[in-house]
Amino acid sequence: MSINTESKEKKNSLERLKWFLIIAIIIIYSISIYCYQYINLTLQLSALFITVLTVLILTLITKQGKVFLRFISEAYIEMRKIIWPTSQETFYTTLIIAVTTILMSLVIWGLDIFLVNIISFITSLRF
């Protein structure tokens, strides 16, 4: 049991080290951009590209990064299962929604006028 605990502690310390490196790289890059802001734009973009790539790789080899990659792959599999509507189905669905919206707004407008007239008749206020 102690061997299992030691291996878990090593894994946790390795995960912490990875996250520490990620944060350190981001901080070092931020400080260097501030200090070397007058350097050539090409070099700045190269440094940005290398930093983003390094942080991305380090993030993806962490435990949370592997979970994220699994999520992305499962989402892609589910997305391929979607049956997208045809343009004709989309047009008719949009038409039905537009007509229903117009009819419901007319019903609510008519109900509003009716209720205003009833209330004004009851309270003897005419508009």
Query: Which parts of the chain have pLDDT scores under 70?
Result: 1-4, 6, 126-127
**Residue-level pLDDT at 27:** 92
**Residue-level pLDDT at 127:** 54
Neighbours of 51 (CB within 10 A): 17
Neighbours of 124 (CB within 10 A): 6
19 neighbors 66 (Cβ within 8 angstroms): no
18 neighbors 63 (Cβ within 8 angstroms): no
Query: Residue 41 and residue 43: Cα distance in Å, rounded?
Result: 5
**Residue-level pLDDT at 33:** 85
Which residue blocks in 36-86 are alpha helix, DSSP H? 41-60, 63-80
**Residue-level pLDDT at 110:** 97
Amino acid at 118: I
Query: What torsion do the CA atoms of 38, 41, 42, 48 make, to the nearest 10 degrees?
Result: 90
Query: Residue 42 and residue 84: Cα distance in Å, rounded?
Result: 43
Amino acid at 51: T
Length of the chain measured in residues: 127
**Residue-level pLDDT at 38:** 85
**Residue-level pLDDT at 3:** 62
**Residue-level pLDDT at 36:** 81
Tens of pLDDT, residues 3-20: 667 677 777 888 888 889
